[in-house]
Amino acid sequence: MKHRRMILLLLTLAMVLTAQSASAVDDGTNSVYTYNFDYWGELMESPDAYRVEEVVTSASLGLDVPMNFPQSLYARGNSLYVVDRGNNRILELERLDGQMHLKRIIDHIQGAEIDTFKNPNDVSVDEAGNLYVADTGNNRIVMMDRELNLIREYVKPTDSTFDQNADFQPNKLVVDSAGRVFALAINVNKGLVKYEADGTFTGFIGANKVTYNLWDYIWKSFFSTKEQRAQQVAFVPTEYKNIYMDEEGFIYATNVNFSEYDLLSDSAKPIRRLNSLGDDILIKNDRYPPIGDLYWEEGLTANDYHGPSKFYDITVLDHDIYVALDRMRGRIFGYDPQGIMLWAFGTRGNVEGAFNGAVSIEHMGTDLIVLDELAGTITVFAVTQYGQLIYDASEKYLKGDYDGSADTWREVMKLNANYNLAFIGIGRSQMRQDNYVEAMENFKAAHNRINYSKAYRYYREQWMEDNIWWVVIILLVLVVFLVGRGFYRKAKWEVNEHDRSHILKQS
């Protein structure tokens, strides 16, 4: 009997242990368009921050030759420049009444020895309207005025710091307000090539740091033969993918060559903000660094998109809000100046608002413009009421209108009750109004320790001030009780001793 019961028990246990559920869980990433992450990194569906306003195609622009692998966008004022690499030309579009129109096609330079482009990859325009084109196939950067007259050519530096055996193939470029040109060149890993306004090369800035670990180093130095070492990957810095210069003259750079295990520990740094010395000064005050998606496996089949977000381009809106474009899943991630994610949206596909070959992003005001190189389309996104409220609240906070900011965050909360920044914004204003208990509740809802701790300290101080007499009275009573008990015990002991000695004496 006993044995049978044992066997039954074991059998049930075996059944429980083997009954593994094979059902795949739909985490929402396959159907949700706009989302955010909560404190635990869980995906939270969110209202749309952006909606597609217009999809610009070669046909809608009336182009005879359709766009062929367009590579880059540049927006200034109402003008949008599109680098149409496959056709060796640059399209200048103008946005009038919310619609894109073709203004002109730039495909030659007046006054240059080679007056056409060959595989151009990037364009930039300064305030005076001068164009800078990264003319990769012709190994030069061309600077020309508004009427396309050649002003200057930036060619391979003759400096010894530049490898003279390699071709100079400028790929991406930015120009600062003083006319200095910073360019990324293919196969140059020393950082950005920097030219002064007069066209002289003055060195490299912002090299990607070499990453290797101690184990690799030991293995390579002591346990590999010369032949093996030649076969192994060299410890060289990687190249940046794209660069963008913000209003203040800082360069935002994206990087797509990293090990995905370095992302969450923030040693990969896919987005960087470089100062003039080339140091990364991007602020990261969130639980997760700005790395895009936190989950890298998606879909039910193995050949679906696996791997972390790869930022192919970045653009910076007003008030240092930056928006990065993920090629991997065709997504767009917005971050505030503190590195906290505002929203993420987008997907792969062929429908409106989905991308297969997202390659470049730009902005006009708060509108976002995304270029798809495979489809040859330009998608214009307009901000929704929800997205606008988030911008307004951040802006009011930066301007010092804290209570107005909190009111706007309350509006955001009506549309999305899971928005951490809204909880923190409201809590901050409540803390300023000495409403500590409610502020603490809001900070707790946002899992924000630092602010909760601040509010709690004020609350504790206030509580002590209000209840100081009670605290003193309770302490006094306690002291009196303990001292009294001590006296009582001592007295009792003495009486006992006295009695005992009395008895001893008598006997």
Partner 1 sequence: MTEATFSSSPKRDAASSNRWKRYSASLKYAFYVILHPFDGFWDLNREEKGSLAAANTIFILFLLTYVLKLMYTNFQFVMVPIQYINIYQRMASLAIPFLVLCISNWALSTLFDGKGRFKDIYMGMCYALFPYVMIQLPCILLSHILAYDEAEFYNVLISVSVIWSAALVFVALMQVHDYSPGKTLIVIIATVVGAMVILFLVMVFFSLLSDAYAFFASLYKEIRFRLN
Residues binding partner 1 (CB under 8 A):
10-11, 13-15, 17-18, 40, 444, 447, 449-450, 452-454, 456-457, 460
Q: How many C-alpha atoms does 455 have within 13 Å on its Cβ side?
A: 25
Closest distance between partner 1 and the C-beta of residue 499, in Å? Answer: 27
Residue whose token pair is 């502020």: 439
Minimal distance in Å, beta carbon 460 to partner 1?
7
**Both structure tokens of 38:** 């909560």
Q: What's the N-to-C CA distance of the chain in angstroms?
A: 72
CB of 10 to partner 1, least distance (A): 7
- Decide whether 245 or 446 has the Cβ nearer to partner 1: 446
Eight-class DSSP state of 210: P
Quick one: which H or E segment has residue 21? none
Q: How far apart (Å, rounded) are the C-alpha atoms in residues 241 and 80?
A: 21
Q: Cβ 43 to partner 1, closest distance in Å?
A: 14
CB of 431 to partner 1, least distance (A): 13
**Residue 230, H or E segment:** helix 226-231
Residue closer to partner 1, measured from CB, 449 or 502: 449
Select 229 or 460, whichever has its Cβ closest to partner 1: 460
Q: Which is nearer to partner 1, 220 or 447 (by Cβ)?
A: 447
* Shortest distance, position 29 Cβ to partner 1, whole Å: 19
Q: 21 or 303, CB closer to partner 1? A: 21
Nearer to partner 1, 35 or 458 (CB): 458
175 DSSP β-pair partners: 181
Any idea which residue has 């706009």 for tokens?
Answer: 34
Minimum distance of partner 1 from residue 455's CB (angstroms): 9
- In the complex, minimum distance from the CB of residue 19 to partner 1, in angstroms, rounded to a whole number: 9
Identify whether the C-beta of residue 96 lies closer than 8 Å to the C-beta of residue 78: yes
Dihedral sign of CA atoms 292, 122, 204, 250 in order: negative
Q: Which is nearer to partner 1, 38 or 392 (CB)?
A: 38
Any long-range contacts for 161-169 (C-beta under 8 Å, 24+ apart)? 161/190, 161/203, 161/204, 162/188, 162/193, 162/201, 163/188, 167/139, 168/139, 168/140, 169/136, 169/139
Q: Are 50 and 368 in contact (CB under 8 A)?
A: yes
Nearer to partner 1, 51 or 287 (CB): 287
- Beta-sheet strand order (sheet of 201-205): 170-175, 181-185, 192-195, 201-205
